[in-house]
Amino acid sequence: AQSVTQPDIHITVSEGASLELRCNYSYGATPYLFWYVQSPGQGLQLLLKYFSGDTLVQGIKGFEAEFKRSQSSFNLRKPSVHWSDAAEYFCAVGDSWGKLQFGAGTQVVVTP
């Protein structure tokens, strides 16, 4: 069975600073990996995804993530955060049946 761990429940970052959110997964085969963002009262929006190929993937809103098989990680990064990036971020792993398993989420607070 697949599982996802997001070690950081809460991160505070200054506007303009860089951001990195950690994600570790457990899955027996090559996983499908996703990062979603959720603003308050909203559904989840896909930021980016990894299926195969280049291990550095670019997403929307200036986000990128790097798949590292040796570390079972798929960390999300942004070089310079904006106040509008304050939200909750979820990492997810999908199996060959399409079942998505989400991590617990990381709440990002952006300070002026």
Question: With CB under 8 A as the contact rule, which of the stretches 10-18, 46-54, 62-70, 78-86 interacts with another protein?
Answer: 46-54
Distance CA 40, CA 94 (A): 24
> Among residues 13, 86, 102, 107, which is the contact residue for another protein, using CB under 8 A?
102
Distance CA 7, CA 91 (A): 11
Residue 75 near residue 94 (C-beta atoms within 8 A): no
**Under rule CB under 8 A, residue 45 binds another protein:** yes
Point out which residues bind another protein (CB under 8 A).
32, 34, 36, 42-46, 49, 51, 90, 94, 96-105
